Amino acid sequence: MALPRFSAGERVSLVHSKMFTAPAGVYRIVRPLPQETGPQQYRVKNETENFERVVEESRIEAFGYE
């Protein structure tokens, strides 16, 4: 089993597509979820929302400063 790429507290952004929409902006990794089968998933939270989202690792990328 591979280790999660991201850790709790890290800042990330979501990769958007037509099938996956969410507000743009910075999200924080709440925690990586246990990986039993399939892709690694994470609980993430945007500061502007009152709930957490579950996203696959392929849908997030490290937040970069411009």
- The CA distance from 19 to 32, in Å, is 23
- Residue 1: which pLDDT band, with cuts at 50, 70 and 90? low
Q: What pLDDT is stored for residue 36 in this prediction? A: 82
Rg (CA), the chain: 12
Q: How many Cα neighbours within 13 Å face the side chain of 37?
A: 0
pTM: 0.86
**66 has a pLDDT exceeding 50:** no
Cβ pair 16, 64 in contact under 8 A: no
